[in-house]
Chain A
Amino acid sequence: MDTVALTDDFTTAQTADGPHIARACRLLKRYDGQTVVDHIDLEVRPGECFGLLGPNGAGKTTTLRMMLGLTPPDGGTLHVLGEPIPARAREARVRLGIVPQFDNLDPDFTVRENLTTYAGYFGLKGDARRRRVDELIAFANLGQRENMGIDSLSGGMKRRLTLARALINRPELVVLDEPTTGLDPQARHHIWQCLRGLKQQGTTLILTTHYMEEAERLCDRLAIMDRGRIVAQDSPNALIAEHIDPHVLEINGNAAMRWLDGQTDDLPARAHRVGDMALLYCREAAPVLERLERAGLRYLHRPANLEDVFMKLTGHELRD
């Protein structure tokens, strides 16, 4: 990644409990009598990467839309970059960048024109605009394709261009809705690298994802949402330490399930069964390992991760 300065110094709102970039209190949203976001409290601190995790329909995107002033809340208060939202959402959008879940690049324009027109929406003109667009074309690594239409870009290139477009105004805060969904591993790593670069420059990031690996790599703090509520909010490591035993043993197959059924309640592990596989969570691995070895079962031993926390807190059933 280029070492161009992508952001300005950020300003933050000061409150009794310290500075924050965004803060929601008892934020509420209902659709047709159904509560989609249920009195949530959120606080995003300057310079951090804050993740919003949750199964489909948990209310992540609605929460983001409310923060951007695109959806009016039905209750609670919301401040982003010190501006009350939605009353002064337009003013807040002057200073933030948005990477939406689905690319909405302008298909009537080339790569360069997309950035140039978008810069125009922010009031950039002349030389300053041209320089900024040059920087961002380099940042998105699209120099070879700057005069091509959007249709000729791969999914990863479109995402890079969308991210570059979001940086056109050197935002203090970038809001990303599922930034890497649908990307191949190379493209995903490239986006991660870009996001880490932004963070190093002091840009605050808010992102939603349902890739736990992504959240664990990028986020300083995260909130897990389920059914419109925040069920946990902390750093990834603190969440793992608080909610789950450190060792996980995965077993699967009929023999393993019969073995599990045969265990009386003295097994020093919490078993979680999903179909013909089970996860055994335990504080000490050795006693359980010994039993598995004795039974001659195959197993996978790994440290607990964010996905375990996520599954524990939001349940294993399918969400549509």
Chain B
Amino acid sequence: MMTSLMPQLSLRFIPVWRRNLLVWRKIMVPSVLGNFGEPVLYLLAFGYGFGQLVGDLGDLPYMVFLASGIICSSAMYTASFEGMYSAYTRMSEQKTWDGLLGAPLNLDDIVLGEIMWAATKALMSATAILVVAALLGLVSDLRALLALPVILLAGFAFAACAMIVTALSRSYDFFLYYFTLAITPMLLLSGVFFPLDQLPDVIVILAHLLPLVHVVEVIRPLMIGEWPVNVLLHLSVVAAYGLVALSLSTWLLRRRLMC
């Protein structure tokens, strides 16, 4: 049998995506609270509490600095959670994927649909934070809207990475490894809470091997009314993470489920 190693990309992912949207609409209130309330609380508590101590970073008030970081980290968390806990539940506990495979859909369509859905959730969460940040006066101008497509790309990349973990996982406990070993270090080393130049050079170089810092370096300038530099390079790193992870997770899931 000839099966391509690459994922088969098709618009058939849309029914899978739509299924998740329909379910989300039913549990919208707690879902919005989770995706939107928590980062806002962080923003307010850290921003006001910490901001007093830290003062300004250059000519940037700490709140403004933090808002542009949190929008990125929240996209990472939202996409990762959805790609792990929720997708794993649908794959393993609820057997939703088995049902989908009874319809004229391929596993590749399901994986892409789940990843696109997780990216969509990241976008929804980031949009909500952007609105709050704008209301609090933490956003400079309309350039901030350009952050949203970047967030969608970032959500895609983080969701695809999470899908690799889901493909390898035998239980929910496994996800903690990924959070502890990948997500948390990335959160701390990507300039979300403090500028990277506080850290030793070697750490800064290592941090640039991971995707989150590239997201932050594009989005922060957009939020504070500047134009980012090296945009193509940054976005290419994020996109590469997404595409490689999509291929790898699809391949792993085919091995796991279509056997």
* Chain A residues packing against B (C-beta within 8 Å): 31, 68, 70-73, 86-87, 90-91, 93-94, 97-98, 100, 102, 104-109, 113, 117-118, 120-122, 166
Contact = CB atoms under 8 A, between A and B. Distances in A.
Interface in B62-108: 94-96, 98-106
25 contacts: A70-B101, A70-B258, A71-B259, A72-B3, A86-B1, A87-B1, A91-B104, A93-B102, A93-B104, A94-B104, A100-B98, A104-B95, A104-B99, A104-B102, A105-B99, A106-B94, A106-B99, A107-B94, A108-B96, A109-B22, A118-B103, A120-B18, A120-B19, A121-B104, A121-B105
A93 B98 CA distance: 13
Contacts of A98: 102
Nearest to B105: A121
Contact of A122 (B19, B96, B103, B258): B103
A113 B22 CA distance: 10
A68 B106 CA distance: 12
Contacts of B23: 108-109
A180 B102 CA distance: 19
Nearest to B14: A120
B26 interface: yes
B102 A166 contact: yes
B99 A118 contact: yes
B1 A72 contact: yes
Nearest to A166: B102
A235 to B, nearest CB: 29
Contacts of A122: 103-104
Question: Helix, strand, loop or mixed for chain A's interface?
Answer: loop
B105 A90 contact: yes
B240 to A, nearest CB: 29
B55 interface: no
Contacts of A94: 104
Contacts of B94: 104, 106-108
B9 to A, nearest CB: 14
Given A87-B1, A121-B15, A121-B104, A108 B26 contact: yes
B96 A71 contact: no
Nearest to B16: A121
A121 B258 contact: no
Nearest to A89: B106
B258 A71 contact: yes
Contacts of A108: 23, 26, 94, 96
B105 A72 contact: no
A70 B107 CA distance: 9
Nearest to A103: B95
Interface centre among B23, B94, B99, B258 (most CB of A within 10 A): B99
A7 B104 CA distance: 17
A120 B1 contact: no
Given A73-B1, A117-B22, 20 more contacts: A31-B259, A72-B3, A72-B259, A86-B1, A87-B2, A90-B104, A90-B106, A91-B104, A93-B102, A93-B104, A100-B102, A102-B95, A104-B98, A105-B99, A108-B26, A113-B22, A118-B99, A120-B19, A121-B103, A121-B105
A240 to B, nearest CB: 34
A107 B94 CA distance: 7
Nearest to A150: B94
A208 to B, nearest CB: 16
Contact of B96 (A70, A73, A100, A106): A106
Contacts of A102: 95
A93 B26 contact: no
B103 A104 contact: no
A118 B16 CA distance: 10
Contacts of B106: 90
Contacts of B26: 108
Contact of A72 (B15, B22, B95, B258): B258
Nearest to A175: B102
Contacts of A90: 104-106
Contacts of B105: 90, 121
A104 B110 CA distance: 15
A105 B90 CA distance: 11
A256 B23 CA distance: 64
Nearest to B106: A90
A106 B23 CA distance: 10
A93 B103 contact: yes
B147 to A, nearest CB: 31
A90 B3 CA distance: 14
A54 B120 CA distance: 47
Interface string B20-55: 001100100000000000000000000000000000
Among all A-B residue pairs, the 9 with the closest Cβ atoms: A121-B103, A104-B95, A98-B102, A108-B23, A104-B99, A104-B98, A94-B104, A93-B104, A90-B104
B4 to A, nearest CB: 12
Contacts of A71: 258-259
Most buried by A among B19, B22, B104: B104
Nearest to B95: A104
Contacts of A120: 15, 18-19
A82 to B, nearest CB: 15
Contacts of A104: 94-96, 98-99, 102
